[in-house]
Homo-oligomer: A and B are copies of this chain.
């Protein structure tokens, strides 16, 4: 199976021109005569020529490799799958191809794949950093002039562009909605306290409570894995406090689904006996039962914006950090009841 690779010189000799001319044809130069161009193209097709970008990149010292990397922490979470699709979408249209790696929240794996991608000559990187990633991890990247865009999760202190959703505002809106429905005991469930996303959403939650005249109770803030399983665990712990909550803002939709599971296990029906709000608006949120009230963040759009920002930086050759915030929107569905405030007040008393 050891096929001879057909190169530009093979084409050249078969077409009776020099390799320089073939190279010009390859890059669509206007310098070459139409007849020659046609001839060369014909020969290329005939011999099944495949352009060798590696060789080309070697010569053009600039990072014009037409490869970008994208690393996500959990591709099985449809939020990140959508993010990747968004990136892929704009990147493909721009003639780039993407390395996609999944870290599964492993910081070691993240380091490995980034190193590997650099060796392969990526001209830019979009990353949703694994938990525990530090600003220092980006130092070598930016130092080498590699454009980097951080998406979804913030890494405080990193001097790179970011694409973040309005976490604070989203959490504020969601919490205000719950308070408006009459809830006084509102929990904040899921997520790890050492992440920026957690902090931001928590801040929005507290702000909305205070503004609604409710003093935040830290016993109602329970941290857990930002996953379905984490949601089950979180609601379990939350229901143990002296005055249990009647509603919860969840770190994300996965947690929210887990919370619903946990409520049912306690014979409480989400949406009727307890109000649940998620965050992300993943694809299943709309069709779950009950349909989840959540903060819509359009992951695919975020992916697209991140990719656009990255391409912009690649083309400009600049690494001037820019912070893009992606708008969010509260989508009210069925998981926090339609009975209005009175229903809740009755239950609460």
Chain A interface (Cβ < 8 Å from any Cβ of B): 1-3, 5, 48, 50-55, 57-58, 61-62, 65-67, 75-76, 78, 81-82, 84-85, 88-89, 92, 95, 97-102, 109, 112-113, 116-121, 140, 143-145, 228, 257, 261, 283-284, 287-289, 317-319
Shortest C-beta distance, A271 to chain B (Å), equals 12
Query: How many chain copies?
Result: 2
Known: A112-B92, A120-B97. A75 touches B67 (CB 8 A): no
Which chain B residues border A143 with CB–CB below 8 Å?
3, 48
| A61 to B1 Cα, complex, angstroms | 12
List the B side residues contacting A55 at CB < 8 Å: 54, 58
A338 to B202, CA, bound (A): 43
Residue of B nearest to A147 (CB): B1
* Chain B residues, CB < 8 A from A50: 118-119, 144
| Also in contact, A99 and B98, with CB within 8 A (given A85-B76, A144-B3) | yes
Give 9 CB contacts A-B under 8 Å. A48-B140, A48-B143, A48-B144, A54-B58, A54-B65, A75-B81, A98-B101, A99-B99, A228-B287
Query: A335: shortest Cβ distance to chain B, in Å?
Result: 13
Whether B61 and A5, one on each chain, are in contact in the complex, defined by CB atoms closer than 8 angstroms, is yes
A62 to B116, CA, bound (A): 18
What residues of B have a CB within 8 angstroms of the CB of A62 in the complex?
5
Closest to A144 in B: B3
Which residue of B53, B88, B100 contacts A88 across the interface (Cβ within 8 Å)? B100
Chain B residues within an 8 Å CB radius of A81: 75-76, 78, 81
Residues of the B chain whose Cβ atoms lie less than 8 Å from the Cβ of A121: 52-54
- Is the CB–CB distance between A99 and B100 below 8 Å? yes
A120 touches B53 (CB 8 A): yes
A81 to B76, CA, bound (A): 6
Task: Tell me which residues across on chain B come within 8 A of A61, comparing CB atoms.
Answer: 2, 5
Residues of B within 8 A of A53 (CB): 119-121
In the complex the two chains form, what is the Cα distance from A50 to B120 in whole Å?
A: 10
A127 and B95 CA atoms in complex are apart in Å by: 20
Highest count of chain B CB atoms <10 Å: which of A75, A228, A261, A289: A75
Contacts of A88 in B (CB 8 A): 75, 100-102
| Cβ of A330 to closest chain B Cβ, rounded Å | 23
* Contacting residues, chain B, for A283 (C-beta < 8 A): 76
Q: Is the CB of A92 within 8 A of B109?
A: yes
Taking the nearest CB of chain B, how far is it from the CB of A114, in angstroms? 10
Q: Given the complex, which residues of B lie within 8 Å of A116, measured CB to CB?
A: 66, 95, 97
Query: Which residues of chain B have C-beta atoms less than 8 A from A119's C-beta?
Result: 50-53
| Closest B residue to A116 using CB positions | B97
- Cβ B145 vs Cβ A3 within 8 A: yes
Q: A101 touching B97 by the CB < 8 A rule?
A: yes
Distance in angstroms from A298 CB to nearest chain B CB is 13
Cβ distance A309 to chain B, nearest Cβ, rounded Å: 16
**Nearest-CB distance from A165 to chain B (Å)?**
19
CA distance A5 to B289 in the complex (A): 56
